């Protein structure tokens, strides 16, 4: 039977699949086609968990805006499986026990996307390791996490007219980041502190040229969130909450880390574009 295909339909939607991190993922018009640059985020989380300074054992990870599940699934295949599926062997080396029993929650607002993500988890043998939750960002999420990771929608409205016609075939829900493309970062960095453990990481993919604005959001919102509910307090109390002062009489142990998010790393993608931001939450 010959099927007609609309002009500019991406080949991946016609074939129904795409490779990511050496693994196979099913895709359809309900999910963003996984991009190679997003592998930078997966590599970074693995490095943070495996690096010499990592003190996180049995990490709890929340993947917001999971889409096809590519990020969450790649991480679980890499971190939890005793052996790799043979297809991915070239990409992924042997596992250590260090981060075994990683717990992953993956969420998306789209039920259709979650269905694809669940199928992809089965396809890659990690469906028992990931809880999939339908949620508008944090709305239906509970618990505390060592990592909050996300590749949220980040296209600004003015950029839509410059996008390739193939990209416009991808779900608007996966692309639309609001007027300036930054809506999701504002929400994530405002709400993440309620869900992050002390010293936990927020790792996000960002769009071309967004780094300066993201830095402002991370710094400003980390402060705002720690000040939430403190409308009627003195200047000293505000400074204390923002981590700018030590409470009078507090022990001086010589080390005082400012409460809030600190950007630890910005990682470029394969084209040299700033692509992933790692921020650590100190409370």
Ligand X SMILES: C[S@@+](CC[C@H](N)C(=O)[O-])C[C@H]1O[C@@H](n2cnc3c(N)ncnc32)[C@H](O)[C@@H]1O
- Minimum Å gap between C-beta 100 and ligand X is 24
For ligand X, the closer of residues 63 and 146 by Cβ is 63
Residue 174, interface with ligand X (CB under 6 A)? yes
Assess contact for 102 and 76: CB atoms under 8 A: yes
Q: Applying CB under 6 A, which of residues 27, 32, 202, 206 lies at the interface with ligand X?
A: 32
For ligand X, the closer of residues 38 and 280 by Cβ is 38
Q: Applying CB under 6 A, which of residues 21, 27, 38, 193 lies at the interface with ligand X?
A: 38
Cβ neighbours of 120 (radius 10 Å): 29
Residue 136, interface with ligand X (CB under 6 A)? yes
Q: Which pair of tokens denotes residue 75?
A: 């991480």
Assess contact for 62 and 195: CB atoms under 8 A: yes
Residue 108, interface with ligand X (CB under 6 A)? yes
Beta bridge mates, 282: 260
For ligand X, the closer of residues 260 and 269 by Cβ is 269
**Mode of pairing for the β-strands spanning 260-268 and 196-205:** unpaired
Residue 151, interface with ligand X (CB under 6 A)? yes
Please state, in angstroms and rounded to a whole number, the distance separating the CA atoms of residues 241 and 101: 35
Cβ neighbours of 134 (radius 10 Å): 13
Residue nearest to ligand X (CB): 67
Q: Please tell me the count of residues contacting ligand X according to CB under 6 A.
A: 21
Residue 99, interface with ligand X (CB under 6 A)? no
């Amino acid at each position: 039977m010959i099927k007609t295909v609309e002009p500019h339909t991406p080949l991946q939607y016609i074939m129904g699949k795409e490779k990511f991190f050496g693994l196979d993922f099913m895709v359809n018009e309900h999910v963003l086609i996984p991009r190679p640059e997003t592998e930078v985020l997966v590599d970074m989380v693995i490095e943070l968990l495996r690096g010499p300074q990592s003190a996180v054992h049995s990490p709890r990870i929340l993947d917001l805006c999971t889409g096809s599940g590519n990020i969450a699934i790649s991480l679980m295949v890499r971190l939890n499986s005793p052996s790799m599926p043979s297809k991915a062997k070239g990409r992924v080396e042997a596992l250590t026990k260090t981060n075994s029993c990683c717990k992953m929650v993956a969420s998306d607002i789209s039920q259709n996307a979650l269905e694809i993500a669940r199928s992809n988890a089965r396809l890659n043998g990690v469906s028992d390791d990931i809880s999939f939750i339908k949620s508008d960002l944090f709305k239906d999420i509970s618990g505390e996490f060592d990592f909050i990771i996300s590749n949220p929608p980040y296209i600004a409205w003015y950029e839509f007219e410059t996008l390739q016609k193939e990209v416009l075939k991808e779900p608007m829900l996966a692309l639309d980041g609001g007027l300036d493309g930054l809506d999701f970062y504002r929400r994530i960095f405002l709400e993440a502190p309620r869900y992050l453990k002390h010293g936990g990481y927020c790792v996000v993919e960002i769009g071309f040229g967004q780094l300066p604005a993201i830095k402002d959001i991370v710094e400003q919102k980390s402060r705002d969130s720690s000040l939430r509910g403190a409308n009627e307090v003195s200047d000293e109390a505000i400074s204390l909450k923002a981590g700018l002062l030590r409470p009078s009489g507090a022990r001086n142990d010589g080390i005082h880390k400012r409460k809030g998010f600190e950007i630890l790393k910005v990682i470029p993608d394969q084209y040299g574009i700033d692509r992933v931001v790692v921020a650590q939450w100190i409370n």
